[in-house]
Amino acid sequence: MKVTIYHNPRCSKSRAALELLRERGIEPQIIEYLHAPPDAATIKQLLRKLGMKPRELLRKSELAFRELDLADASKSDADLINAMASHPALIERPIVIVDDKAVVGRPPELILELLA
């Protein structure tokens, strides 16, 4: 089982998710996505694994969300994906991937479903 976490060490939910994995003896591949942002193609893959639409993965509380007017319903999926690629703080976190499935660990206990 290959486990990857898109992690922000400053986020309490992200830290809790990483701790939850480690408590179960899992040392995931850690991607600090703010320092190594995923490109648009990677975000599309993540969305497929998550079963989500781009708008669902956006952090609406981020300043970039308002500055880029991402609440505008006329913004296309491509617009939203490109915004996340350019401004990775817009990506909801943490994202944990196990094989070909993923979940946003909010709350972190949602990760347990992937590990079952």
Q: What is the DSSP letter of 95?
A: E
**Is there a catalytic annotation at residue 100?**
no
102 - beta bridge partners?
97
Q: For residues 12 and 18, what is the distance between their CA atoms, to the nearest angstrom? A: 10
Instruction: Give CA–CA dist 17/37, Å, rounded.
Output: 19
User: Over the range 15-38, which residues count as b (16 or more CB within 10 Å of their CB) and which as e?
Assistant: ebbbebbeeeebebebbebbeebb
Query: Exactly one of 3, 9, 11, 44 is catalytic; which is it?
Result: 11
Q: Annotated active-site positions, please?
A: 11
